[in-house]
Amino acid sequence: MIIVTGASRGLGRSIAERLLQSGKKVLGLSRNKIDLPFESMACDISDYNAVKEIARNFRMEKRNLDGLINAAGIASMNLAVTTPPSMTEKLIQTNLTGTIYCCQLLAPLMIRNKKGSIINFSSIAVALGLKGESVYAASKAGVEGFSRSFAREMSDFNITVNCIAPGPIKTDLLKGVTDEQINDIIARQVIPKRFNPEDISDVCEFLLDSQSSSLSGQVLNVGGA
Model confidence, pTM: 0.93
Q: State the CATH number of the domain containing residue 156.
A: 3.40.50.720
Residue 23 belongs to domain spanning: 2-222
Give the contacts of 10 (CB within 8 A, at least 6 positions apart). Answer: 171, 172, 173, 197
Q: What is the pLDDT of residue 176?
A: 60
Q: What is the pLDDT of residue 76?
A: 86
The string of pLDDT tens digits covering residues 196-214 is 889 999 999 999 999 999 9
Cβ distance 208 to 67 under 8 Å? yes
The residue type of 143 is V
Q: What is the pLDDT of residue 190?
A: 87
Give the contacts of 142 (CB within 8 A, at least 6 positions apart). Answer: 92, 95, 96
At 140 the three-state DSSP class reads helix
Rounded-to-integer distance, Cα 124 and Cα 136, Å: 11
DSSP 195: B
- What are the DSSP E strand ranges found in the chain? 2-5, 26-30, 39-42, 67-70, 116-121, 159-166, 219-222
Q: Which of 165, 100, 101 is nearest to 136 (CA)?
A: 165
Q: What is the pLDDT of residue 175?
A: 65
Greatest mean pLDDT among 33-37, 198-202, 220-224 lies in 198-202
Measured CA to CA in angstroms, residue 84 lies from 42, 94, 102, 126 at distances of 28, 16, 26, 21
Rounded-to-integer distance, Cα 210 and Cα 43, Å: 29
Q: How many domains in the chain?
A: 1
The residue type of 84 is P
Average pLDDT in the chain: 92
Q: What is the pLDDT of residue 77?
A: 85
The residue from 136, 168, 185, 223 that is catalytic is: 136
136 is catalytic: yes
